[in-house]
Chains A and B, each alone.
Chain A
């Protein structure tokens, strides 16, 4: 089904792990070896990739970057409590079916019945859309843990066999496997069945060197020395036992703030005044100022 013969199951966006790092970097995503390796494996083995980790470390961004690299269309399914089949998979367009029936008033029942369950009346939702396309696709199932347990059952068929069964039409199989990425904040344990079908990547805060590179990539005007000390402070904050550790997104925000303030070095006043950008709880701000001995 796939066009390259050697690895019939994969999506074939990348040729090697180093290739992943290089291409993702071009697309503006600096990947750690862990990220590059798992993305490459997901691409090669054709398995969905489950990315778990704290908010703001770039889980969703990873999917977008992969889509940019592969020149693929990004189909996104945002999960929430109460999402169901008709939002995730497909739905029959009832209104249109009714119109069709009223329009063809004199038809026989046979003609009408076969007609109204045709492609024309099928509203495809993200999962089906991702499977039916013939162009390269990246399917992002965002915040999977927010959906109810029942929805996971729905995902199983799609994720293991890349097919969807519509009773009236039959089984629709993917002509071209999408690159599937699921994200989760781990508010709920995903079921064992779902986890078993995926490769697992725990995306944590990057190490200091990588974070410096990320900050300098996202905030180009920032001085190198300032970026270094900024990342050092954020690292120290993460080592404290805070209620909410600052994420990469917050590091970048802080860098932008400092740039806007025109600060060229970190000193006590600057840090004290802008600590609210990276810490979101008053307890944390107090504790951090105490431990950083801000006066």
Chain B
């Protein structure tokens, strides 16, 4: 059944002279690409996906997207990666988009074989004729944004990439750039126009104040569409597999803390609550398991007296109730701040799992920020700024100094440490060449029950440059913790219950 449909679909694409990929190869290529992004998909799921295609047919792309998602995905949070990869392997069209083809050139332009229809730099902002093209595009984009017409926006994204996004001329050096398209088109500047179009003829109402944000979201969506379209065009030049590997952003929980952008950090913060809930259940399960199982020999013998010395009923050791205390000691300087923020919010969200949570921040001086963090859960985006302005974490200079900070913590807050305290030190241990002050860390680890150091750098980098990681790792357990998934694993495993 699917075979027949394939040939139909390929007939449609045949004029584009795309090398004809049979559906099974395309599907397995798709699955391979998803695996490359860390999704665990077994052959069983591939078979499911194939039977999904057989049942649904190839008539409706939306249905196929949802159907494949149902068969291949297992958790949410993988959807963004899936969608981007899907758009590469099951593209909306082949070659120059329909709308652009009609307006630019009446001939049957086969982009994979033929030379580009347009000259190398198709639209230059100084040329008046090109300005007209650009203005026309912006005009139509404003209309589509005002109407929130998804189909029109998709069409316009295709057209925009085609006319504005091309660069380079050689067969290896050319490509399509979403960045170039967007910086020429500047969809953000349409905001006022779209707002005016929406307001026209409407009486003012309460929801007017929400319109601007709504339109910003639509523009953001359009930027995404342009990115998708540019990736599709590049994939036709360079090969789908390669683009799928390089150009699709990783899923949120695998974003490297050190390289996360502002949007990615915001996205990460949104996962704090669900992740905290998951970790709490995992800790509770560990706690339940740990409570039973160890036989209390003395009480078993005492019990056995009533049955004539035969230990019929074993007595188990009771666990002392009580939850661990957590102390977080976070480097909040520069690039490490994203990691520290996320962990602070996560531990704060899990606070009911611990009897006490105290948070300390440092750059080169240490100060307690517990109050700021617990108030910060209402407005997590501003947390790091508030810590830097309201707490005394910076001394005479702005560089991090682990030695001084650890020393100050050990001297000024000895009451934070006790036999039930678990200390998590967060930071990259880049000490700017200063004294690492190992005795201070040693004192901390002697007083606390456990000390773990979570380092957002990968292990190979620990020995490089000004990193004192190996010196510290000799004293306390140090783990590399580069993304949210790893952090979740570590917290669930390391924390005492």
Chain A residues with CB under 8 Å of chain B are 17, 33-34, 37-38, 40-41, 44-45, 47, 49, 52-53, 145, 149, 186-189, 192, 195-196, 199-202, 204, 229, 232-233, 235-236, 239, 241, 243, 265-268, 271, 283, 286-287, 292-293
27 CB-based A-B contacts, threshold 8 Å:
A17-B60, A33-B63, A37-B70, A38-B67, A40-B55, A45-B48, A186-B277, A187-B278, A188-B278, A188-B281, A188-B282, A189-B278, A195-B75, A196-B42, A200-B69, A200-B70, A232-B207, A232-B210, A232-B214, A235-B210, A236-B214, A239-B217, A241-B379, A243-B273, A266-B205, A266-B206, A286-B378
Q: Which residues of A contact B274 (CB under 8 A)?
A: 186
Q: Which residues of B contact A266 (CB under 8 A)?
A: 205-207
Q: Which of A53, A188, A233 has the most CB of B within 10 A?
A: A188
Contact assessment for B66 and A271 in the assembled complex, using a CB-CB cutoff below 8 Å: no
| Cα A90 to Cα B56 with chains together (Å) | 37
Contact assessment for B377 and A41 in the assembled complex, using a CB-CB cutoff below 8 Å: no
Q: Which residues of A contact B206 (CB under 8 A)?
A: 229, 233, 265-268, 271
Could you tell me the distance in whole angstroms from the C-beta of B175 to the nearest C-beta in chain A?
A: 33
Q: Which of A45, A233, A243, A267 has the most CB of B within 10 A?
A: A45
Contact assessment for A233 and B207 in the assembled complex, using a CB-CB cutoff below 8 Å: yes
> With A199-B70, A200-B71, A200-B73 given, can you name 15 additional A-B contacts, CB distance below 8 Å?
A17-B63, A33-B63, A34-B69, A38-B67, A40-B55, A41-B52, A45-B55, A188-B282, A196-B44, A199-B48, A200-B69, A232-B214, A243-B273, A266-B206, A286-B378
| Cα A37 to Cα B79 with chains together (Å) | 16
Known: A41-B70, A196-B42, A239-B217. A33 touches B210 (CB 8 A): no
Q: Which residues of A contact B139 (CB under 8 A)?
A: none
Q: What is the predominant secondary structure among interface residues of chain B facing chain A?
A: helix
Checking B60, B70, B207, B217 against A201 with a beta-carbon cut-off of 8 angstroms, the contacting residue is B70
Which of chain B's residues 147-193 have a Cβ closer than 8 Å to chain A?
none
Known: A37-B67, A232-B214. A52 touches B76 (CB 8 A): yes
| Cα A53 to Cα B77 with chains together (Å) | 11
Checking B207, B278, B377, B381 against A229 with a beta-carbon cut-off of 8 angstroms, the contacting residue is B207
Which residue on chain A has the smallest CB distance to residue B269? A241
Q: Which of A47, A52, A145, A232 has the most CB of B within 10 A?
A: A232
| Cα A201 to Cα B217 with chains together (Å) | 25
| Cα A199 to Cα B214 with chains together (Å) | 33
Could you tell me the distance in whole angstroms from the C-beta of B124 to the nearest C-beta in chain A?
A: 37
> Does B26 reach chain A (CB closer than 8 Å)?
no
Q: Which residues of B contact A196 (CB under 8 A)?
A: 42, 44-45, 74
Q: Which of B42, B213, B217 has the most CB of A within 10 A?
A: B213
| Cα A204 to Cα B273 with chains together (Å) | 16
Which of chain B's residues 369-410 have a Cβ closer than 8 Å to chain A?
377-381
| Cα A47 to Cα B71 with chains together (Å) | 10
Chain B residues with CB under 8 Å of chain A are 40, 42, 44-45, 48, 51-52, 55-56, 60, 62-63, 66-67, 69-71, 73-76, 79, 205-207, 209-210, 213-214, 217, 266, 269-270, 273-274, 277-278, 281-282, 285, 377-381
Q: Which residues of B contact A45 (CB under 8 A)?
A: 48, 51-52, 55
Could you tell me the distance in whole angstroms from the C-beta of A159 to the nearest C-beta in chain B?
A: 14
Contact assessment for A202 and B48 in the assembled complex, using a CB-CB cutoff below 8 Å: no
Could you tell me the distance in whole angstroms from the C-beta of B224 to the nearest C-beta in chain A?
A: 15
Q: What is the predominant secondary structure among interface residues of chain A facing chain B?
A: helix
| Cα A63 to Cα B55 with chains together (Å) | 22
| Cα A100 to Cα B94 with chains together (Å) | 75
Q: Which residues of B contact A287 (CB under 8 A)?
A: 378-379
Query: What 10 A-B pairs come out closest when comparing CB atoms?
Result: A37-B66, A202-B76, A266-B206, A229-B207, A38-B70, A199-B70, A34-B66, A283-B378, A188-B281, A195-B74
Q: Which residues of B contact A34 (CB under 8 A)?
A: 66, 69
Q: Which residues of A contact B55 (CB under 8 A)?
A: 40-41, 44-45
Could you tell me the distance in whole angstroms from the C-beta of A229 to the nearest C-beta in chain B?
A: 4
Q: Which residues of B contact A265 (CB under 8 A)?
A: 205-206
Could you tell me the distance in whole angstroms from the C-beta of A88 to the nearest C-beta in chain B?
A: 19
| Cα A116 to Cα B73 with chains together (Å) | 47
Q: Which residues of B contact A38 (CB under 8 A)?
A: 66-67, 70
| Cα A271 to Cα B206 with chains together (Å) | 9
Could you tell me the distance in whole angstroms from the C-beta of B395 to the nearest C-beta in chain A?
A: 32
Q: Which residues of B contact A232 (CB under 8 A)?
A: 207, 210, 214
Q: Which residues of A contact B67 (CB under 8 A)?
A: 37-38, 41
Known: A235-B214, A241-B269, A241-B380. A33 touches B70 (CB 8 A): no
Could you tell me the distance in whole angstroms from the C-beta of A19 to the nearest C-beta in chain B?
A: 12
Which residue on chain B has the smallest CB distance to residue A17? B63
| Cα A271 to Cα B52 with chains together (Å) | 45
Which residue on chain B has the smallest CB distance to residue A32? B66
| Cα A12 to Cα B381 with chains together (Å) | 49
Q: Which residues of B contact A267 (CB under 8 A)?
A: 206
| Cα A11 to Cα B282 with chains together (Å) | 36
Q: Which residues of A contact B66 (CB under 8 A)?
A: 33-34, 37-38
Contact assessment for A186 and B278 in the assembled complex, using a CB-CB cutoff below 8 Å: yes
| Cα A149 to Cα B75 with chains together (Å) | 17
Checking A41, A239, A283 against B213 with a beta-carbon cut-off of 8 angstroms, the contacting residue is A239
| Cα A21 to Cα B378 with chains together (Å) | 39
